[in-house]
Structure 1
C-alpha cells in the first residue's frame, strides 16, 4: 500500500474524523491505528508493536535519546511553569492593568499579537509561543476569544518566517534552493538572491497577512469565529467551557499575588527571548564549518535546544522574582505542578501528531502525490496554480511544511527548469505558499498546535475557526497564480491577489453582521 492511492487513507480519515467529531486526539488515534495496520498487512500483533515503536521512537532512536523531541517537549513544560509563575506572582494581572491604561480599544488589543507576530520573525515555534505569552493578558482584558488570538498568532508566524531570510525557515529554504539551482545548472542568480526575488510570488503569505489586519479593522468574524467572539463578549468565556482543558489554562488554580508588578511578567519573557536567541546564535556558530555569517548561523542553528535553554533561563528568572515577593503566596509544588499540567493537552496532541506523521511518511503519501504530479501532462500556464494546490494538500495531509518543502521544491524546480526556466522562481514560490496554506489548515501541523498552545485555545477550535480565513486567502492566491502563469508577471498577480482579498473582506463586512467591537 506504500506509495499508492491507498496511502491517503489514514490522512483523509483523520481529517474527516476531526471535522465530524471535533475530537482531535480520538481522530489522530484512529488514524494511527489504521495506518499501522495498513503497514503491517492487518496483523494485529505487528500493528500494535509498530504503534509502540512509533511512540518510543519519539524519545529513543537508534539506541540513543532523541534529544530534539525531548528538548521541545521539555520546553513546553518549562513554558507552562513560567506562565504559572507569571500568573501566581500577579505579573499577568499587573500587565493587564497597565495595558488597559494604554491600549484603550478592543481593536488595539488585537493589534498587539498581530504586530508582534510580524516583528518576531526568527522562528515559527518561538513566534507562536512567545507572542501568545505577551499578548494574552491584553487580549483577555478586552474579551478577545482565545480562538481569535490563536488565528492572529498562526496567520502571522509561519507567513512572516517563510519570507524572512534571517530565520530558521528562510535559512533552510535558501540552502535547498542553492542545491536546486546547482542541480539544474541555473547560474543567473545565487540562492539568497533567488530567495529574495521569490518573495513577491509567495501570494498566499501576503494574502493571509492582509486578511489578519482586515479582520481587525473590519471586525470580520466568519463562520465558527463569530460564535467564539460572541460568547467572549457576552459571557467573558474566552474558550468554549464545554471543551474541557486547553493548553496553558491556569484559571482559578491558585490565587494571584496582590503585590504583582509588570516586571514579574516582562523579565521572564525578556529572558526567554534573550536566552533562546543567544543559544540559536551559539549553536549556529558551533555547527557552521568555516567562517560564520548571519545566514549560515540561522541555517545551522539548533532550534529545539535553543528553546529549551531559553525556557530554563525564563523559569529561573520567574522563580527568583516569585520568591522575592512577600508572603502570602502559593507553594512552589503547586505552581510547578499546575504549570506542567496546563501543557499536557498540547503535549498529547503533539506526540500523536508526530506519530501519525511518521505513519504517513512510511506509507509514502507525499511521494505518491508528488509522483502523480510529475507524471501529469500539465499546461505550463497552470503550473504555479497546480503546484500551489498540490503543496497545500500535501502539507494538509502530512502536517509538515518542512516535509513538503523537501519533497516539492526539487520536483517543482526540475519541472520548471526543463519546461520553462523563467517559471522556476514562481514555481518554487508556489511550493512555499501552498505549504503554509496546508499548514494553516492541518490539525496535525506542529505550528498550528503550538499556536493553539501559545494562545491557550482549544486546538480543534483554532483549526476550525482559522479555516475560513485560510480558504479566502487561498482562493485569492489561486486566481493570482493563474494570472501569473498566463502573464508571466510577478507584481501584477500580487496586486490582484491583495485586491481580491480586500474585496471579499469588504463584501463579508457589508452583508455579515459583526459581533466584535
Structure 2
C-alpha cells in the first residue's frame, strides 16, 4: 500500500512539475529560429515558368528572391528573438544558382524535449500511459502558450486526415472485425485449426508468427495489425507469453520493411535526401536506387529480424531477463501476462460468446483475412500505396455477411461489434494522445534542437554514430520513424557530404550510404522502443500485452541488435571509406 501511495505522490509531483515547466518555457525561454532549406526538382514548364512536383501535382513558383535578401535566411532570423517571421516560406536562389524553398523553424533548446521526457518518465514510473501522455500534452501545450487543452490542442491536432484515418481504422474497423470474430467464434475456430494442423507448441506458434512478420513486409502499423490479429488466437492457445508475441510482431514490422523495401518507404524517403551538387542523388530514380544500394548496410534491420527468429526457436541468449521470465512463466503456470499487468486488449476480445446453435468455422477467419491481405497488397501494387482502410472494411463486411448468411441474428452481430469497439477503445485513446504528444514535440522543435547539436568539424568515422544516436533520440521522443526521417535526413545527408569532402574520403558515396543507413535504422529502433509510438501501442494491443511490459521487455534485445549494428557501421566506415 505504501508503495502505491509513494508512486502516486511521485507521479503527482511529476505532473505538477510538468505544468510549472510548461509555464516557465512559455514565459521565459526565448525561441531560437533556424532556417530550413527544402530542395525540389525545379524545372521550367512549356510556358517558361519555374515549377516543381509536390505530392503528384505540379506547383508553379511565382517569385524567387536572392538568398542574401530573404527575410528567412539565418542572418535575419537571428534578429527576430520571440517575434514570429512575417512570412511562412519563400523561394530563393542560392549562391550556387539552385532554386530552393526557405522556411523558418524554432526550438527552445533542451527545453524542447520536455514533453517527451515527462511522458516517457511517467510511463516508466506509473505504467499508466493515459496520465503520462496527458502530462506530456500539458507540458507541450503550455510551452506553446496553448492553455485550452481540449479545443485548442487535442481537437485541432487530431482534426486531420491522418489522425481521423487512424481512429477509423483502429477503433471502428479493427475493433469491429475482432468483435465479430469473437462473436462468431471464428478466431477460436482458427486457433483450433492451426493447433491441430500446424502449431504443435509454443515454438511452432512463434516461428509461424515470425514467418508472417517477414511475409507482411509493408512495415509500420499495417504489418503490426495484420500479424498481431492473425496470430493471437493460436498463440494464446499454444500458451506463448504476450511479451514474446508483442516483441516478435513489433520487431518484424519496420525492421523487415527496411530490408525488403518493396513498399512505400523508398518513395517517401527519396524526397528527403536530395543534396545539391551530388550527382548520384540528382533525380528521383537515382535516389531510389541509392536507397536499395544502401540496404546491405541496414545492419539493425537484419539483426532485429534474426533476433526474433532466435527467440522463436527458443534461443533466448540475447532476449533479456524479462522475456526469459515471461517464457518460463507461461510454460510453468500458463499465465500469458505478468501479475498486475493491464493488457491493452480488453477481456471482451479474449473470450467467445457464440450464440446457441451457431457453428463456428475456421474459414470465417481465413476468408476475411485473405480478402484483407489481397486488397492491401493489390492496392499497393496497382496504386503505389496500400489502402488499408479498404482492406479492413471489406474484411469486416465479409465477416458480417457470412455471420448473417449462416443464420446469426442481427442483434448478435451488433452485440459483437459493440464488444469489439469496447475492446480496443483504451488502446485507441492512447494512440490518439500519442499522436498529439508527437505533434507537440515536433512543433516545439525537439528534433531540430538535437540535429543542431552536430557540427561539421567532427571526425568522419564518428558521424555515423552521432547520426545514429540523434535519430534514435528523436524517434524515441516523438514516437515516429517517418517523422524522424523528415527531420533528420534533410540535415544529415548534406552534413555527410560535407564531412566526406573535408576528410577527402575515397568512396564518399559508400560513406553516405552508411550514414543514410544509420538514420534509417536508428529511427526504426527509437520508434520501436518508444512507449508513445503507434507501432509499439498496436503491437501490445493486437497481441493482448501490457504496454509497458512490452516496452521494457523489447528494449533489451533491440539494444543488443543496435549495439552490434553500431559496431558494424563503424568498422565499415573505417575499412571501406
TM-score of the alignment, normalized to the shorter chain, above 0.5: yes
Maintained 8 Å contact 2:403/2:413: no
Of the structure 1 ranges 165-174 and 230-239, higher mean CA displacement relative to structure 2 is found in: 230-239
Maintained 8 Å contact 1:253/1:338: no
Between the aligned partners of 2:378 and 2:217, the Cα distance in structure 1 is: 15
Maintained 8 Å contact 1:248/1:454: no
Maintained 8 Å contact 2:176/2:420: yes
- Give the structure 2 partner of residue 369 of structure 1: 450
Between the aligned partners of 2:535 and 2:434, the Cα distance in structure 1 is: 11
Maintained 8 Å contact 1:3/1:367: no
Between the aligned partners of 2:408 and 2:517, the Cα distance in structure 1 is: 57
2:171 maps to 1:73: no
- Give the structure 2 partner of residue 129 of structure 1: 225
2:178 maps to 1:83: yes
- Give the structure 2 partner of residue 56 of structure 1: 155
Q: Which runs of 5+ in 1 are unaligned?
A: 41-45, 61-65, 285-296, 490-517
- Give the structure 2 partner of residue 416 of structure 1: 496
2:207 maps to 1:99: no
CA drift of 1:265 comes to 0.4
SS in structure 1 of the partner of residue 320 of structure 2: coil
Maintained 8 Å contact 2:266/2:288: no
SS in structure 2 of the partner of residue 231 of structure 1: helix
Please point out which of 130, 134, 137 is paired with 1:25. 130
Of the structure 1 ranges 448-457 and 191-200, higher mean CA displacement relative to structure 2 is found in: 448-457
CA drift of 1:327 comes to 5.8
2:140 maps to 1:35: yes
Between the aligned partners of 2:140 and 2:471, the Cα distance in structure 1 is: 22
Counting only pairs closer than 5 Å after superposition, residues 341-360 of structure 1 correspond to structure 2 as 341-360=422-441
Counting only pairs closer than 5 Å after superposition, residues 506-517 of structure 1 correspond to structure 2 as none
- Give the structure 2 partner of residue 275 of structure 1: 375
Between the aligned partners of 2:451 and 2:267, the Cα distance in structure 1 is: 24
More helix, by proportion: 1
SS in structure 2 of the partner of residue 237 of structure 1: coil
Indicate the RMSD between aligned Cα atoms, in angstroms: 2.3
- Give the structure 1 partner of residue 389 of structure 2: 308
Give the structure-1-normalised TM-score. Answer: 0.83
2:105 maps to 1:7: no
- Give the structure 2 partner of residue 145 of structure 1: 241
The change in CA–CA distance for 1:267 and 1:58 in structure 2 (over 3 A counts) is: farther
- Give the structure 2 partner of residue 288 of structure 1: none
CA drift of 1:439 comes to 0.9
Maintained 8 Å contact 1:160/1:205: yes
Maintained 8 Å contact 1:87/1:256: no
The change in CA–CA distance for 1:419 and 1:341 in structure 2 (over 3 A counts) is: same
Q: Deviations over 1:71-93 (max 9, x none)?
A: 22111121111112122212222
2:537 maps to 1:459: no
CA drift of 1:13 comes to 2.1
Maintained 8 Å contact 1:385/1:478: yes
The change in CA–CA distance for 1:237 and 1:159 in structure 2 (over 3 A counts) is: same
- Give the structure 2 partner of residue 236 of structure 1: 334
Between the aligned partners of 1:442 and 1:183, the Cα distance in structure 2 is: 36
Maintained 8 Å contact 1:4/1:368: yes
Q: Deviations over 1:369-426 (max 9, x none)?
A: 01112x2631101111111111111111111111111121122211121221341111
The change in CA–CA distance for 1:185 and 1:314 in structure 2 (over 3 A counts) is: same
Of the structure 1 ranges 314-323 and 116-125, higher mean CA displacement relative to structure 2 is found in: 116-125
Q: Which has the larger radius of gyration?
A: 2
Between the aligned partners of 1:29 and 1:412, the Cα distance in structure 2 is: 32
CA drift of 1:122 comes to 2.2
Between the aligned partners of 1:57 and 1:87, the Cα distance in structure 2 is: 35
Maintained 8 Å contact 1:146/1:457: yes
- Which structure carries more relative contact order (alpha carbon 8 Å, separation 6+)? 1
Please point out which of 474, 497, 502 is paired with 2:562. 474
Q: Deviations over 1:75-133 (max 9, x none)?
A: 11211111121222122222112211222232111011111111111242211001112
2:401 maps to 1:320: yes
CA drift of 1:216 comes to 2.1
2:315 maps to 1:198: no
SS in structure 2 of the partner of residue 429 of structure 1: helix
- Give the structure 2 partner of residue 508 of structure 1: none
CA drift of 1:457 comes to 1.9
- Give the structure 2 partner of residue 407 of structure 1: 487
Please point out which of 330, 342, 350 is paired with 1:251. 350
Give the structure-2-normalised TM-score. Answer: 0.74
Between the aligned partners of 1:458 and 1:170, the Cα distance in structure 2 is: 33
Maintained 8 Å contact 2:158/2:436: no
SS in structure 1 of the partner of residue 458 of structure 2: coil
Between the aligned partners of 2:214 and 2:299, the Cα distance in structure 1 is: 17
Maintained 8 Å contact 2:219/2:255: no
Between the aligned partners of 1:163 and 1:174, the Cα distance in structure 2 is: 16
The change in CA–CA distance for 1:327 and 1:401 in structure 2 (over 3 A counts) is: closer
Between the aligned partners of 2:281 and 2:232, the Cα distance in structure 1 is: 48
Maintained 8 Å contact 1:382/1:485: no
Between the aligned partners of 1:187 and 1:30, the Cα distance in structure 2 is: 42
The change in CA–CA distance for 1:256 and 1:214 in structure 2 (over 3 A counts) is: farther
Please point out which of 215, 232, 236 is paired with 2:311. 215
